């Protein structure tokens, strides 16, 4: 006989909350957070946004990426840049986000602006050829949310700032979700990631934990 375990339903951990929508807010769970179930303690990230380029193995051209600016409008995760047209001291490239969506077209030696990213792919001493490319590891998590982890990186995730209302899968791309951020009573046994420090953080938000 196959045994199936029923998961936590949306909002099942709630005993009470404030009137209207005071207790809840829509947040963005950052890509790479994985599958988070309802009742998971979550944290708002405070780490600066960043982009780390890695040249594709076997590239002919040796140009580099610089003058980088990343805003939280960008999707967190690996973007792909590929040269689609070659030219002496130049060329054309395309950028795709982690979900495979087209972000935009750019030119070697000129500033690329799109999808929350700004950067310049400079021409090197050897020109790029069609198929050359880069992986752009983007962290655009400033102000976004992930699972609370008191022992994790000191980027905001060590403070519990709320509770995820319904399960989401943010393994690959950013996902909008509803969270309980203030003035509520919740059931302890239906929470994920709760510890002493997390409980203290929630208490400061007016979130009362009941047995």
Q: CATH class for domain 14-46+152-210?
A: mainly beta
| Predicted confidence band of residue 156 (pLDDT cuts 50, 70, 90) | very high
Model confidence, pTM: 0.81
DSSP secondary structure, 107-145, as one string: ETTSEEEETTEEEEE---SS---TT-EEEEEEE--TT-E
Provide the edge-to-edge strand list for the sheet that holds 90-96.
50-55, 133-139, 77-87, 90-96, 102-107
Q: Which range has the worst mean pLDDT, 2-16, 47-61, 152-166, 168-182?
A: 2-16
Domain borders along the chain are: 14-46+152-210, 50-139
pLDDT at 173: 85
* Averaged pLDDT, 135-164: 96
- Give the whole-number percent of the chain exceeding pLDDT 90: 91
| Predicted confidence band of residue 172 (pLDDT cuts 50, 70, 90) | confident
Name which of 30, 110, 116, 27 is nearest 69 in CA terms.
116
* Averaged pLDDT, 39-44: 98
Token pair, residue 157, equals 């995730």
Residue 94 backbone phi and psi in degrees, to 5: -120, 150
pLDDT tens, position by position, 144-154: 999 999 999 89
Instruction: In whole angstroms, give the CA distance from residue 96 to residue 207.
Output: 41
């Amino acid at each position: 006989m196959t045994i199936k375990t029923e998961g936590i339903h949306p909002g099942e951990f709630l005993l009470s909350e404030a009137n209207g929508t005071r207790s809840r807010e829509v947040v963005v769970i950052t890509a790479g957070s994985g599958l988070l179930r309802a009742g998971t303690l979550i944290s708002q990230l405070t780490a600066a946004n960043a982009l780390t380029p890695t040249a594709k193995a076997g590239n002919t051209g040796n140009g580099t990426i610089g003058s980088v600016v990343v805003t939280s409008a960008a999707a967190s995760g690996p973007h792909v840049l590929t040269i689609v047209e070659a030219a002496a001291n130049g060329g054309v490239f395309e950028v795709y986000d982690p979900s495979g969506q087209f972000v935009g077209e750019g030119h070697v030696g000129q500033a690329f602006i799109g999808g929350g990213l700004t950067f310049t792919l400079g021409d090197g001493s050897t020109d790029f050829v069609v198929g050359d490319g880069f992986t752009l590891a983007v962290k655009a998590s400033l102000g976004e949310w992930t699972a609370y982890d008191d022992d994790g990186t000191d980027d905001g995730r060590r403070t519990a700032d709320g509770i995820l209302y319904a399960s989401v899968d943010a393994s690959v791309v950013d996902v909008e979700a509803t969270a309980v951020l203030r003035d509520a009573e919740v059931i302890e046994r239906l929470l994920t990631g709760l510890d002493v420090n997390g409980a203290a953080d929630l208490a400061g938000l007016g979130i009362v934990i009941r047995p």
